[in-house]
């Protein structure tokens, strides 16, 4: 049973470009969460989605960041006009409906030059 998949694993962007991060949840999981991890800091919640719905985006910056989880295909975290402060590891987690336990993917490490 494949775990949570994220791609790309590493992404380099120049300031002002767009970054698209993809997450495929574990089989049978319909809930997806995105977290950001800065060096020397803990994981910070960004957004919680179910298929075609954003349930909680209280941790998302108001500008430049958006997330979606379409009916078909992976969840996508999109960062427009990236700045150096966006450099971080972005982790996706998934859970089964009715379960609190979240399983994490390997992360995407974004570097903004």
Which residues lie near another protein (CB under 8 A)? Answer: 4, 6, 31, 33, 35, 40-45, 48, 55-56, 58-59, 91, 100-107
In 3D space, the residue among 10, 1, 4 whose CA is nearest the CA of residue 108 turns out to be: 10
User: For another protein, which is the closer residue by CB, 17 or 106?
Assistant: 106
| Tokens describing residue 5 | 């998949």
User: For another protein, which is the closer residue by CB, 17 or 89?
Assistant: 89
User: For another protein, which is the closer residue by CB, 48 or 86?
Assistant: 48
Least separation, in Å, of the C-beta of 56 and another protein?
5
Least separation, in Å, of the C-beta of 96 and another protein?
13
Cα gap 91→14, rounded to integer Å: 21
Cα gap 92→107, rounded to integer Å: 7
Cα gap 7→106, rounded to integer Å: 9
């Amino acid at each position: 049973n494949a775990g949570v998949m994220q791609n790309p694993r590493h992404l380099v962007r120049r300031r002002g470009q767009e970054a698209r991060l993809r997450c495929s949840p574990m089989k049978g999981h319909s809930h997806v969460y995105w977290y950001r991890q800065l060096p020397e800091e803990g994981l910070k919640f960004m957004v919680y989605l179910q298929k075609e719905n954003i349930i909680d985006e209280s941790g998302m910056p108001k500008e430049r960041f958006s997330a979606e989880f379409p009916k078909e295909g992976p969840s996508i975290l999109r960062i427009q006009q990236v700045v150096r402060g966006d450099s971080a590891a972005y982790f996706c987690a998934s859970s089964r409906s009715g379960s609190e336990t979240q399983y994490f993917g390997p992360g995407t490490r974004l570097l903004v030059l």
